[in-house]
Each structure stands twice: as structure tokens, then as C-alpha cells.
Amino acid sequence: MKAPATITIADETRIADAASQFIDLMEGYTVFAFNGPMGAGKTTFINALAGHLGVAADPTGSPTFAILNEYVGSSGKPIYHFDLYRLESEEEVADTGFIDYVDSGNLCFIEWPDRAGSLLDPSATVEVYIEVDPLTDARTLTLRYPE
Ligand code: ADP
Ligand code: MG
């Protein structure tokens, strides 16, 4: 098992560098579950990742809430960004086609992965935890790889 990795983001101006570190730590995995409370910085970080992967349009520009945002990076492959916050059961998650997306082999970045329950295969999912330092507002990301 690969040991956990951590990335520290001192403040939001350092996020591009953190995104590039993260990409170096992806290790060929495609499914990343982002855990952390509301306001931790999950959406902000995933948007920074998308930017680094060559997604042209600024995804933060979208005014409407979406459970799934589909981006296309410079590789030409889709990148799926899920926000499962408003879904209330595994069944609702499954109804979005979630399983096909995570099995597609394309990158999937998932906010509120607990909503997906057992739909996520722990042997193929990198669990990412975002913690906020209450004094400095710095973020620490921890990546936990499958066993
Ligand atoms: P989440 O998706 O986890 O609910 P957001 O990405 O929407 O969180 O971020 C919430 C707030 O935290 C935003 O105001 C954003 O500007 C701020 N923020 C996000 N990432 C960082 C960071 N690395 N350092 C400082 N502030 C951040
Ligand atoms: Mg969010």
C-alpha cells in the first residue's frame, strides 16, 4: 500500500502549485473522493485541478448548481466533477449514472462521496481529506490510497 501523501496550501494564491503537486500524486488512479466540511475548499481545489488539466472555461463561472459538471481537459478526455451534497440516498446517486462514470476510466472528482455509500469501490478510490487550520486558514490535503 502506498503511504498517504499530504499537500499544504498556505492560502488561496498557492492553489495552482498545490494542484500541480496533486496531479503528480494521482498515480494512475481515476476516482478521487473529496472529504471535508462545507467551506473546506473542495470545489475551489477541484476547479484548480481542472484548470491544470487544461480545462479551458473557468468552471467557477457556472451560476447554476449541478450534481455533475463535465469538463474536457487538454487530453481530450472528459473529467467528471460530482457534487453529491443534495442527494439523499445511494439510490438517488445511482440514478445519475454514477456507476458508469466512475467505471469509465476517466477522471472523477467527487464532493460529498459519503452520499454514494457502497457505490464507490474502496479498492479503486483515493480518499482525499481537506482540513482547515482554524488559526491560519491554511488547508491541508491528505491523500489515502487504496489498500
Ligand atoms: P467546499 O466546496 O468544500 O464547500 P469551497 O471550495 O466552496 O468549499 O470554498 C469555500 C471558501 O473557502 C471559499 O470562499 C474559498 O475562497 C475559500 N478557500 C478555498 N480554498 C482555500 C484555500 N486553499 N485557502 C484559503 N481559502 C480557501
Ligand atoms: Mg463544494
The fraction of the chain above a pLDDT of 90, given in percent, is 91
pLDDT at 125: 98
CATH number for the domain harbouring residue 38? 3.40.50.300
The total number of structural domains in the chain stands at 1
- C-alpha span between 24 and 16 (Å, rounded): 13
Give the tens place of pLDDT for each residue, 106-131: 999 999 999 999 999 999 999 999 99
Give the tens place of pLDDT for each residue, 24-79: 999 999 999 999 999 999 999 999 999 999 998 665 555 566 899 999 999 999 99
12 lines ligand 1 (CB under 6 A): yes
State the distance from the centre of ligand 2 to the C-alpha of 23, rounded, in angstroms: 19
> CB–CB of 134/106 below 8 Å?
no
pLDDT at 63: 53
State the distance from the centre of ligand 1 to the C-alpha of 1, rounded, in angstroms: 30
Residue with cell 500541480: 20
State the distance from the centre of ligand 2 to the C-alpha of 55, rounded, in angstroms: 18
pLDDT at 132: 98
The model's pTM is 0.95
pLDDT at 1: 74
Average pLDDT along the chain = 94
Which is nearest to 128 in space by CA: 46, 68, 50?
46
Q: Which domain holds residue 115?
A: 5-144
Task: With a cut of 60, say whether residue 97 has pLDDT above it.
Answer: yes
84 lines ligand 1 (CB under 6 A): no
